[in-house]
Chains A and B, each alone.
Chain A
């Protein structure tokens, strides 16, 4: 209803030739060290524009002026909490909603082995995918490892065999920089009964049809029932051919990943 209201308002204003006087506010800036945390995460919200105010929610709902007015940094303690923030100001259309989902650490991981990234996007060393650093959409951040190859195999070893149900990945999506989500994610687990890797989870991504800026994309794959293992093999297939609508059509896409977690 609110969207309809603003669309109608815009049409009315355009009709009367006053459209140039009304603008939308930009999204507020959410500042945080990492979207991944052990005990708690802290986020500060910024919007240095006189006459405006930031409102936010932690319950997943779209912020309104009836929600919390931002005054001081927000502390997040619960995993998968999504902070949503929006700016309101007299004389402007409210901003779009900025949001970040904060994720608590998963099961203790002994090691993650992944192939070396591209020369310019090597990441943060061997522990890049398990260092609890990431969730910030910046391709030049060393949180990310960037690949431009046919496949990326990642071996995850937990500190002991235990019950597992989900795996979470954090990817970067930045089509303007030729960075796409993988076209396929396959996850296998080491089955001690037959001493081999067996298929466990799978997900297929279809490339978007437009460039949307830069954002991080959390992908949580969950199985219906738990199984016991300590070794998980992930096979990521970067997009092999950029779609026809994109300036890089037909080329191999980049794949950027900054974190893997097991639950």
Chain B
């Protein structure tokens, strides 16, 4: 018992700091003040911040599919009971009104709602593509919305196609899917619009089992691949000059809670891994990345708020609420 009396250094650290370079963060695992008896969560899949600064969390717990927090972690309100497979959450500013797009894995649908949950549109499985014969083949994971309202759906747990609709939900075309060419995808888990170049927006699509992001034009023409060796990246999230992504797990330790968070600059160079290995490029090639600190299990999404804080939602991680990471100046 004598060992118990020793004062370990661990207790005197002000808080664990994650990451490298100028993208370092202090982690707070107790950010959420939600009462688990009143506001339970299952998998915490994705988060966004709305215009008024609130943080919305999407979970596949139908007692409250959406938890609405303030930045201090207090629950403001909740809504949603009809999304058993709630997975993807995308915010879009539609002519001054914020709307949400929810991908539901279990319903095999994409649902557009108001910011407080009123259903505006439901997109069923894309039979127009000629590649699907029944809803069960379609398991959408994410959406991205173009400035004109066009909707791009990633069928990340289905057939890995990206399906393109107009703002009214009319089918336009599809691309991606599985195959052996560079333009193909494997586990197209996420998609986002990249406006950083200043020209026409570019689509960035996750190909998670290939440990990569792939870039396409809005018409679906393949541009190039951003290789992220070892990392099962979830959706790309762009804020300012940077791209953030939760890494569900790493190749070297699959099924073993080996996730971390990766941050890329606008040249798609990895500049920091939060709870992950310091990125190392040899002859321009990124070496395999892996978890170094076990503070996340299976991180699934990153939300960046207006003060540059990060919120990390996790899948299959003991029903934990999101963690908050504050930048270290």
Contact residues of A with B, CB < 8 Å? 1, 4-5, 8-9, 12-13, 18, 20-27, 29, 46-50, 52, 87, 90-93, 138, 174-177, 211-214
Contact B30–A13 (Cβ < 8 Å)? no
Q: How many residues of B contact A (CB 8 A)?
A: 33
B29 within 8 A of A: yes
| Residues in chain A near residue B27, CB distance under 8 A | 20
Which chain B residues (183-198) contact chain A, with CB distance < 8 Å? none
Look across to chain A and name the residue whose beta carbon is closest to the beta carbon of B10: A22
B251 within 8 A of A: yes
Docked complex Cα distance between A247 and B27 (Å): 33
Contact A23–B3 (Cβ < 8 Å)? no
| Residues in chain B near residue A24, CB distance under 8 A | 293-294
Docked complex Cα distance between A12 and B258 (Å): 26
**Given A8-B4, A21-B16, A177-B255: A48 touches B10 (CB 8 Å cut-off):** no
| Residues in chain B near residue A20, CB distance under 8 A | 15, 27-30
| Residues in chain B near residue A177, CB distance under 8 A | 255
Contact A49–B278 (Cβ < 8 Å)? yes
Contact A213–B28 (Cβ < 8 Å)? no
| Residues in chain B near residue A23, CB distance under 8 A | 16, 275, 293-295
Docked complex Cα distance between A9 and B1 (Å): 11
Contact A92–B278 (Cβ < 8 Å)? no
B177 to chain A, nearest CB (A): 18
| Residues in chain A near residue B329, CB distance under 8 A | none
B292: contacting residue among A8, A25, A90, CB under 8 A: A25
Interchain residue pairs with CB less than 8 A apart (14): A1-B3, A4-B3, A20-B15, A20-B30, A22-B13, A23-B16, A23-B275, A23-B295, A25-B293, A29-B288, A49-B278, A52-B292, A92-B16, A93-B10
| Residues in chain B near residue A175, CB distance under 8 A | 255
B277 within 8 A of A: yes
Contact B256–A49 (Cβ < 8 Å)? no
B11 within 8 A of A: yes
Docked complex Cα distance between A45 and B209 (Å): 25
Contact B278–A50 (Cβ < 8 Å)? yes
B285 to chain A, nearest CB (A): 15
- 4 tightest CB-CB pairs across the interface, nearest first? A213-B256, A49-B292, A48-B277, A20-B29
| Residues in chain B near residue A21, CB distance under 8 A | 10-11, 13-16
Docked complex Cα distance between A119 and B74 (Å): 52
B133 within 8 A of A: no
- Best-buried of A50, A176, A214 by chain B (most CB within 10 Å): A214
Residues 254-287 of B, flagged 1 when their CB comes within 8 A of A and 0 if not, give 1110100000000000000001011010000000
| Residues in chain A near residue B16, CB distance under 8 A | 21-23, 91-92
Look across to chain B and name the residue whose beta carbon is closest to the beta carbon of A52: B292
Instruction: Please give 9 more A-B residue pairs, beta carbons under 8 A apart, in addition to A29-B252, A49-B278, A174-B254.
Output: A13-B10, A20-B28, A25-B292, A25-B293, A26-B253, A48-B292, A52-B292, A91-B9, A213-B253
Docked complex Cα distance between A177 and B249 (Å): 15
Contact B292–A26 (Cβ < 8 Å)? yes
B315 within 8 A of A: no
B311 within 8 A of A: no
Docked complex Cα distance between A21 and B291 (Å): 17
A3 to chain B, nearest CB (A): 11
| Residues in chain A near residue B295, CB distance under 8 A | 23
B277: contacting residue among A4, A49, A212, CB under 8 A: A49
A9: contacting residue among B10, B14, B277, CB under 8 A: B10
Contact B294–A26 (Cβ < 8 Å)? yes
A213: contacting residue among B254, B277, B291, CB under 8 A: B254
Docked complex Cα distance between A140 and B102 (Å): 33
Docked complex Cα distance between A214 and B278 (Å): 24
Docked complex Cα distance between A23 and B8 (Å): 13
